[in-house]
Amino acid sequence: MTCLGTNIDHRQVAFFSQMAERWWDPAGELAALHDINPTRLAYVQQRTGLRGRRIVDVGCGGGLLSESMALAGGQITGIDMSPAAIAVARRHMQGSDQSIDYRVASAETHAAACQEPYDVAVCMELLEHVPHPEGLVKACAQLVKPDGDVIFATVNRTAFAFFLVILAAEYLFRIIGRGTHTYRRFVKPQELARWGRAAGLKVVDLTGLRYIPFLRHSALCRSTVMNYMIHFKRL
């Protein structure tokens, strides 16, 4: 069982916090997020729709996906454990004419305090950065109403992902800051599906996300050997 406040890797929070001011730089250490953001947005739009839906963006960072979903008509709450990233998200929002409720919170604490469940919870590239990913899955399930949608994006634990996500993206092409990922924390789809079932979720779609760092190209695909996205429904 994961207790509130224990599912946090403070070194990872500090790592991303020190990059917060460069979150919106498409050529900076977080360039890969800019490259894959249109693909992530398209998947969420395709699977759930966005306009008029109450959506929580778990691990929103500096607000890249949150703003994109808000522009598409979603009513967005963005939560993250990095005060520096939330500060950047709030500041950038002011120049984008969007209204997003940004909060410093974990999925677990937000779920415990949530008075009205959301229609959709999205959690992108966070599972591989927490000590207990199964606890994060459970908290995301608790954040949505029955028949609500929960969408995760993460990295598969394969040799191919190790080569492209860590060796190529972090060390060879330096598209991602060194130390962003730890291979043992990558998540296999069958593990994520099992955690979802235990949390009262049903898998309705599993789709690969192809990202080629040296081409700065991303697209949805059939193969889940590297990155993938999974859509659950709450039972």
b/e 47-64 (16+ beta carbons within 10 angstroms → b)? bbebeebbbbbbbbbbbb
The residue behind tokens 């917060």 is: 20
For the entire predicted model, the pTM comes to 0.93
Position 139 scores a pLDDT of: 98
All structural domains of the chain with their residue ranges = 10-234
Alpha-carbon distance of 93 to 89, in angstroms, equals 6
- Per-residue pLDDT tens over the stretch 124-152: 999 999 999 999 999 999 999 999 999 99
Instruction: Give the bridge partners for 141, in sequence order.
Output: none
The CATH architecture annotation of domain 10-234 reads 3-Layer(aba) Sandwich (3.40)
Give the pLDDT confidence score for residue 171 in this predicted structure.
63
Average pLDDT over residues 99-128: 96
Q: What is the pLDDT of residues 175-232, one digit of tens each?
A: 666 767 788 899 999 999 999 999 999 999 999 999 887 788 899 999 999 999 999 9
Q: Which two tokens stand for residue 1?
A: 């069982």
